Structure 1
């Protein structure tokens, strides 16, 4: 028995809390693909051997190396990849059962997803969260990303720069790194995109970067580390402002009495340390006028020059911002598992 789980079935496996344990040994996993699909008996045995397969919604996407190896096999969806498969491309789940890794998956699905969908997929794979439909908040938090931009670039080179490599590398350069939720990823994409593409031109913004702050309470001086959702460093280093921060205040996370108190403590610590904190809620996030005003204030706090543009260009850029937000807000990362063309 030799099967390799691929496409949206693989994403469902990758999203599980247990997956990082298997990912740690990916470099040691054999990378040769099977030449043919499993027999019905082998597929039945695989389900007995690997309990994770039971939770996969829809047909089981399987990756093989040759079209000659395809045959009718109920409950499966064959995918053929005949290029070089470097170390780190596959992850061993059980004897005879492997899954494509977070490094390999984007290359396999890039032809089936829109550019914005690909950016949100990369945000998840390079982020501190995974979508989990059964969890209370719809997310599983992770301590470290499962992939990095450097890892993707090295992987594409090791794979011999296959088809779609140039586009994937371009998207990797645009995608958020270390986002802790889909809204944080959307915030980054809107903040950093060029004005002509519907963004606010904050190319140097960083997600969840640690800043060291002084605790305001206690007789003995002490410091603590905070991680603003989005940090924009000042243009001029000789200013008293150390940066502008934006935190997305998701309604599920910040409405309890303890959360409100902790948010106020964090905000005061940031202000005392020279950071200018901004906060935005879901309703404001969808309001283009509010976002425009907020981002103008962020740019001003960071020492970026005020933009002077003509009416025609302003109208065009406004339309681009509306379009980018419409595309981002239409991406339903939780519904990918039910999309027939991704299986």
Structure 2
């Protein structure tokens, strides 16, 4: 049963490792913090054992199991942050779409958005505790179980990426232009859908903070597909709204102001803009040069990324070499190490450990010489 907002506000154990939060805020760090997108996932044998054959969306709703899956990589690796096990598609479901399949098993939604009138059947005023309370319960429970070992990430999908999923219903067959075409053919409906999603995202992030999330990330996994023109017109203002409104609401509710991260994959053209719209951290993917990204982003935001996920399939020495080169390019301050996208399900956990340990080793060595 979902609990009320007031019941979820509570005290947690003091944070023992605040390295990631300090880096996100631009404070000096003794070494570079590191975490990995999708770090709680299928590449871990303990994940497969714990999840078994339970369906994905059902797993997301199992508070105890979510907490267990979230903490598994923290038990295995010297990571500096945990990220709650969840999915970006829970917001479209909360808005009224019906699940047909789990992600990766065919079309996700039984009733995708195909025409303007489909936007009108969404319920933007859904009861967020009733629909998504399991996420917030999972965050609170996980904070309690972590006992301050590392900070806990909350997250959400970005408006454009969610809109793309809702229209193109990935898994239903190739239709890569349908969402962009929707924006052009039905601009009013497209704007309306983006606003509905933006408002839902803001509410969702604020509830995650209230539940105990100490940092949150907005995933715009399909951001680059829009191109500079459409991204600037439709998505950038929404992302700015999210950063501003979440911080405004968190402050209004007397909650702790937490760092916010934005990741617009393949949107290289927007790095400079993304650094100026209110987020504390800008994640970049592996196709962008760290030196160039730092030059574009300036010194007022932290960068996060960006080793190519396939690089952890190399030898241990190759992984260490690539990590050292990456850190030298980013620098050891205002930087959070990560992969340029999520860890691949075929990844050997021992290789990921080499990556994580190398980040700490080389960044400490570089800091000692500075």
TM-score normalised over the length of structure 2 = 0.26
Task: Tell me which protein shows more strand as a share of its residues.
Answer: 1
**Between Structure 1 and Structure 2, whose CA radius of gyration is higher?**
1
TM-score normalised over the length of structure 1 = 0.28
Q: Which has the higher contact order (CA 8 A, sep 6+)?
A: 2
